[in-house]
Amino acid sequence: MIPNRLKEILSQIKQAEIHYHRQPDSVLLLAVSKTKPSSDIAVAYQAGQRHFGESYCQEALIKQRELGAYAITWHFIGPIQSNKTKALAAHFDWVHSVDSLNIAQRLSKQRPANLAPLNICLQVNMSNELSKSGISLDELPQLCEQVALLPNIKLRGVMAIPAPEDDFERQRLPYKTLSQAINKLDCFKLDTLSFGMSDDLIAAIAEGSTIVRVGSALFGARS
Ligand SMILES: *Cc1c(COP(=O)(O)O)cnc(C)c1O
């Protein structure tokens, strides 16, 4: 089941890269395994998947221990409480959901010296979002400037979670707006747009996504 779905999603990504004139292999599949058991991650891993995303710190740390023998690149994509930054800095390769200078400073200070800089994305709340997480587009240039100066973390780009939308063209709109805003910030050498989930990954790829975060389409619905 999971291997077949993985193959299907990778093929959809490849098709979309071609259709929307994206570079081959410019879109990375992040398998979002929150609430799913380590055994599901192991199955996807055996089928070739290497990047996994988790939303809850405690849950992720347990799975990381269980899967210690696997060469997984771990991404944190959930809301960040400041008492969790130490664990995130020590146990993840990427954090997509940074939405304040305070959180970025803590991650920078707490990143262990023996590890490569932590890759981070700033979460931007496009106006149509239901969640309270994320900075506004207006705040993005200044936060980029401040975060880019911090040691031990590497500012890679932005992440967005638009409100669900059925219509394909309407799915593209928030991604287009954010993509255009990022192009104007080229001084920061951002290379990552963490855009797109199970229901809108094609629209996200059309607008320049470089990481699609796919959960239910790969692992099945979450209870
Ligand atoms: C759960 C989650 C996803 C995956 O959502 P699906 O609709 O299951 O693909 C992607 N990004 C974030 C931030 C999430 O919390």
- With a cut of 90, say whether residue 223 has pLDDT above it: no
Q: What is the mean pLDDT of residues 120-129?
A: 86
**Is 70 exceeded by the pLDDT of residue 129?**
no
Nearest CA to ligand 1 atom 7: 198
Compute the average pLDDT of residues 192-198.
98
C-alpha to C-alpha distance for 48 and 72, rounded to whole angstroms = 11
Supply the residue whose CA is at minimum distance from atom 11 of ligand 1. Answer: 213
Phi-psi region of 30 (alpha: psi -120 to 50; beta: other; left: phi over 0): beta
The pTM (predicted TM-score) of the whole model is: 0.97
Going from the Cα of 27 to the center of ligand 1, the distance in angstroms, rounded, reads 16
CB atoms under 10 Å from CB of 58, counted, come to 9
For the CA of 161, the closest atom of ligand 1 is: 13
Ligand 1 atom, smallest distance to 55 CA: 15
Token representation of residue 82: 């400041």
Contact, 125 vs 134, CB < 8 A? yes
- Which CATH number belongs to the domain containing residue 144 in this structure? 3.20.20.10
**In this structure, are strands 211-214 and 73-76 parallel, antiparallel, or unpaired?**
unpaired
Calculate how far, in angstroms, residue 209's C-alpha sits from the geometric centre of ligand 1. 15
Summarize the confidence of residues 93-115 as an average pLDDT. 98
Q: What confidence score (pLDDT) does residue 187 get? A: 78
Domain count along the chain: 1
The residue type at 108 = S
How far is ligand 1, taken at its centre, from the CA of residue 163, in Å? 12
Ligand 1 closest atom vs CA 159: 13
Residue among 29, 35, 77 to mutate when testing ligand 1 (max atoms within 8 A of CB):
77
| Tokens found for residue 139 | 């705040």
Half-sphere exposure of 62 (CA within 13 A, CB side): 11
Per-residue model confidence as pLDDT tens digits over 135-190: 999 999 999 999 999 999 999 999 999 999 999 999 999 999 999 999 998 778 99
What is the tens place of the pLDDT at every residue in 12-36? Answer: 999 999 999 999 999 999 999 999 9
- Give the percent of the chain with pLDDT over 70: 98
pLDDT of residue 133: 86
| Residues 55/77, Cβ–Cβ less than 8 Å | yes
Structural domain harbouring 47: 2-219
| pLDDT value for 64 | 98
Going by pLDDT thresholds of 50, 70 and 90, the confidence category of residue 73 is: very high
CA triple 166-209-159, angle to 5 deg? 85
Distances (CA, A) of 139 to 85, 132, 136, 150: 22, 15, 5, 18
The confidence score (pLDDT) of residue 203 equals 98
153 in Cβ contact with 117 (< 8 Å): yes
Residue 54 has pLDDT above 70, yes or no: yes
**Distance in angstroms between the alpha carbons of the first and the last residue of the chain:** 18
Mean pLDDT of the chain: 96
Percent of the chain topping pLDDT 90: 93
Least confident of 16-25, 107-116, 123-132: 123-132
Q: Which of 7-42 are b and which e, b meaning 16 or more Cβ less than 10 Å from the residue's Cβ?
A: eebeebbeebbeeeebeeeebbbbbbbbebebebbb
